[in-house]
A and B are shown apart, each in its own frame.
Chain A
Amino acid sequence: MIVVRLKPIPEIREMLEGHSNVLLVGCNTCAAVSLAGGEKEVETLLEALRLAADAQGSDAEFTGGVIQRQCEPEFVEDLDLEGYDAVLSMGCGAGVAFIAENTDLPVYPALDTMFIGAARGFAAWQAECSACGSCVLGQTAGICPVTRCAKGIMNGPCGGVKDGRCELGDRDCAWVMIHERLERQGQHDNTCTPPKDNAAKTACPEWDMGGHRENVKR
């Protein structure tokens, strides 16, 4: 799923400056599961924004709600934005963008969209995929070097690996993990992987629906 995290409150407040009636919209799918945009988090952020506004003597009003998915028309169409002068989305970037496409109000992101990840315990997510558009997991024992190697190296560990740890110090070396798992699978990393096809993503027909809208309109 898509892993998101809350922006610093001062950054959110700066975006909302000048608005007096803001609707916070949570997203009950990825953002809720990553504990950043569900009902509880909407309530918490509402409280924080109200307290901050009070402290500043501002009479700005904040209202909150959650929809199932901000990235789908059937849910976004249900949003009643009457009377508000801004929307604060607690969804991923796609949610922010899709709500913005469906209103003339300014829509601001309360979250930063980080990566596509897998659950590793309560509220713990490991980045597993960068949506690069040309998957190499078949050659790397299911460990993504684009995502998990800090340099996105395709051909093995750099000289910065120290006892299996990345030179950045905060993560394991993806290539050491890849080698260990390949070995368990009875495979070897012995062919040079060519440079990535970065065009695969840019040229993806769904990347920009501008030229294809006619075909997908329901």
Chain B
Amino acid sequence: MSLREAIEAGRFAVTSEVGPPKGIDVSEMMETAEMLRGRVDALNVTDNQAAVMRLSTIAACVHLKLAGFDPVLQVTGRDRNRIGIQSDLLGAASFGITNVLALTGDHVMVGDHREAKAVFDLESVQILQAIAGLNEGHDMTGNELHGVPDFFAGAVVTPDSKPLAPQLAKFEKKIAAGARYFQTQAVYDIDSFAGFMEFARARDAKVLAGIVVLRSARMARFMNANIPGIAVPEAVIRELDGSSDPETTGIEIAARFITQARDLCEGVHIMAVGAERLVPRVLDAAGLTEVVA
């Protein structure tokens, strides 16, 4: 199965992500992918995540594709202008890589090459517009393409962003610009998420809820304090605090959220942040045992 088929068929989709290495040894990335084989519909491949220079996203997607995975090419506007972005997209499509996630990208100042020129010629909404054009057979200036790609473009949204109104306005722009699915920033409060989904439903947006498995109360507090758009409820933090086995409790919390979210949204996007080994346990606990090929 692929992400596109799952979403178009209305089957609850599961995605996760891998990060390309700094260097050319892809063995660890491929081992991570193997842990998730058969359990996810697709694997996002980050684009120089956190503005830290790494092996190219497209190359990593090709490795995954050759190994039988369905990759999602993350494309940011930080490092390439509109010529580079369109060119890379066509290159990816020529390898059959057509799932794309359009992002603005973290600023270079937060990464490991802070003196680099931050490009941002296009940002997320405009990358989606560019992709829509390529799908129609022309580039951004209207020149005809020889061989037209068929991208399945998505975007991100932060349902717990504060303030929320500007975030929702941008979410609507992304829908208008052609986002066919959304992956969210990590969400923990099911009631708050349900409220967001009401907004998304009214706009016919397909949403994969973002899941980051909490491994301790300390991690939850750190995320609340430092990661924009994350709001772990106090009750969840207390649950982890009172647990003798916080890792298992974290898995239960994630699984419970997924179970509740199954009636609300189209799937989940699990960001393992280095704990990919936990993902199959989360899926087992959430009853998502159906093996995806």
Contact = CB atoms under 8 A, between A and B. Distances in A.
Contact of A164 (B82, B163, B176): B163
A188 B120 CA distance: 24
Q: Interface residues of B toward A: which range?
A: 35 or more
A194 B107 CA distance: 21
Contacts of B124: 155, 158
Interface string A161-200: 1111001100000011011000000001111111110100
Contacts of B169: 156, 179, 188-190
A157 B170 contact: yes
Contacts, number: 99
A40 B77 CA distance: 44
B176 A192 contact: yes
Given A151-B118, A153-B123, A190-B169, A195 B82 contact: yes
A189 B172 CA distance: 10
Interface in B153-170: 156, 158, 161-163, 165-167, 169-170
B173 interface: yes
Nearest to B168: A156
Nearest to B161: A161
A188 B126 CA distance: 19
B170 to A, nearest CB: 3
A109 B82 CA distance: 34
B110 A153 contact: no
Contact of B122 (A158, A161, A176, A195): A195
B284 to A, nearest CB: 30
A155 B126 contact: yes
B2 to A, nearest CB: 26
Given A156-B166, A161-B161, A198 B121 contact: yes
Given A161-B161, A164-B163, A188-B169, A154 B126 contact: yes
Interface residues of A, number: 31
A157 B167 contact: yes
Contacts of B105: 151
Nearest to A156: B170
A194 B130 CA distance: 10
B108 to A, nearest CB: 10
Contacts of A138: none
Contacts of A196: 121
A151 B107 contact: yes
A150 interface: yes
B172 A150 contact: no
Interface in B105-120: 105-107, 109-110, 118, 120
A172 to B, nearest CB: 12
Nearest to B158: A159
Contacts of B125: 154-156, 192-193
Nearest to B127: A195
Contacts of A156: 125, 166-167, 169-170, 173
A194 B129 contact: yes
A18 interface: no
Given A151-B120, A154-B126, A159-B228, A167 B107 contact: yes
B101 to A, nearest CB: 12
Contacts of B177: 192
B81 to A, nearest CB: 8
A152 interface: yes
Given A152-B120, A195-B121, A159 B166 contact: no
A198 B105 CA distance: 20
B123 A160 contact: no
Given A151-B120, A167-B106, A195 B140 contact: yes
B185 interface: yes
Contacts of A158: 104, 123-124
Given A195-B121, A195-B126, 5 more contacts: A150-B118, A153-B104, A155-B170, A159-B185, A195-B140
Interface of B: 77-78, 82, 104-107, 109-110, 118, 120-126, 129, 140, 156, 158, 161-163, 165-167, 169-170, 172-173, 176-177, 185, 228-229
11 contacts: A153-B123, A157-B161, A157-B167, A158-B124, A162-B162, A162-B228, A179-B165, A188-B169, A190-B169, A192-B176, A195-B82
Interface of A: 150-164, 167-168, 175-176, 178-179, 188-196, 198
